Amino acid sequence: MDRPSVARVYDYYLGGTANYEVDREFGEKVLADFPLLKPIARANRLFLHRVVRYLAQRGVSQFVDIGSGVPTMGSTHQVADETGRNTRVVYVDHEPTAVAHSRTLLETSGDPRRHAVLHADLREPDELWRQMADTGLIDLGKPVALLLIAVLHVQQPGPDGTEIGPASVARYRELLPPGSYLAISHITDDGVPVGLADALVGLKRKYDESGSPVIWRSRAEIGALMGDFAGIAPGMTWTSLWHPEASGPGAPAVRFAAPEESAIWGGVGHKQAREAA
């Protein structure tokens, strides 16, 4: 609790209450220099909502939300349930506060027969997958929607300190059953307005100095995280542009002067079944 947490600060940007003084102080310093970050965070959350709604309405019934964070501004299972589908959701996070708050949320609004929370590490795909399978909630013989929303721009150091985020994602692509989906959103400084690019330099410095180093990948590098998964139209794009028609009733409006001000590049890929040789 002696330094800000990425998950709790994000909760603060979204207007949540699962944060501490150290998180609020850091968040206020960031917003003083970069006020656009609050609508950027909200637009990213709404992107998650639209992805879940879009896939659930097309028959996807299993969601694994890795780096799910603190349940603020509508969680995956709540959005999925709004579609009227019988969905199952497993949340995964490595931040103890996020896990604790998610468990508390599920005690009041969840169903233990369909929802679970795991304390696990994105950097250990096989172990995480084992824990997820052990819940008994996810049928790995059927398609799964794997959500990696606004988590991969937080550096994922391996045992020797090198960044292993892309390697971990590659392993998740292998583990996913045929017919599954992979949703990713990631901050980028590629293609944003000049003033915003300068602000992102300062934002990165603040997070690095806080003990939670981040990495801004190019749009091509973010797209490469999808591997050979087939892109769902419109492909990778700014979060505010991805299927706006999938917004739910009463979704708050988040407006930018231009879509690239949303600063987060996202999309969904589909793991198609390989043809038999």
pLDDT in tens, 154-177: 999 999 999 999 999 999 999 999
Please state the domain extents for the chain.
Answer: 47-192+214-245+254-270
Q: Give the C-alpha distances (Å, rounded to integers) separating 38 from 6, 163, 183, 246, 256.
A: 14, 27, 22, 22, 12
Report the DSSP beta bridge partners of residue 215.
none
Return the residue matching tokens 């609508």: 39
Mind listing the pLDDT tens digit of every residue in the chain (277 residues)? 678 888 889 889 988 888 899 999 999 999 999 999 999 999 999 999 999 999 999 999 999 999 998 777 788 999 999 999 999 999 999 988 889 888 988 888 889 999 999 999 999 999 999 999 999 999 999 999 999 999 999 999 999 999 999 999 999 999 999 999 999 999 999 999 999 999 999 999 999 999 999 999 999 999 999 999 999 999 999 999 999 999 888 888 899 999 999 999 999 999 997 644 3
pLDDT in tens, 231-277: 999 999 999 999 999 988 888 889 999 999 999 999 999 999 764 43
Measured CA to CA, the distance from residue 177 to residue 272 in angstroms comes to: 9
Q: What is the pTM of this model?
A: 0.95
Measured CA to CA, the distance from residue 254 to residue 252 in angstroms comes to: 6
CB 80 within 8 A of CB 109: no
CATH code for the domain defined by 47-192+214-245+254-270: 3.40.50.150
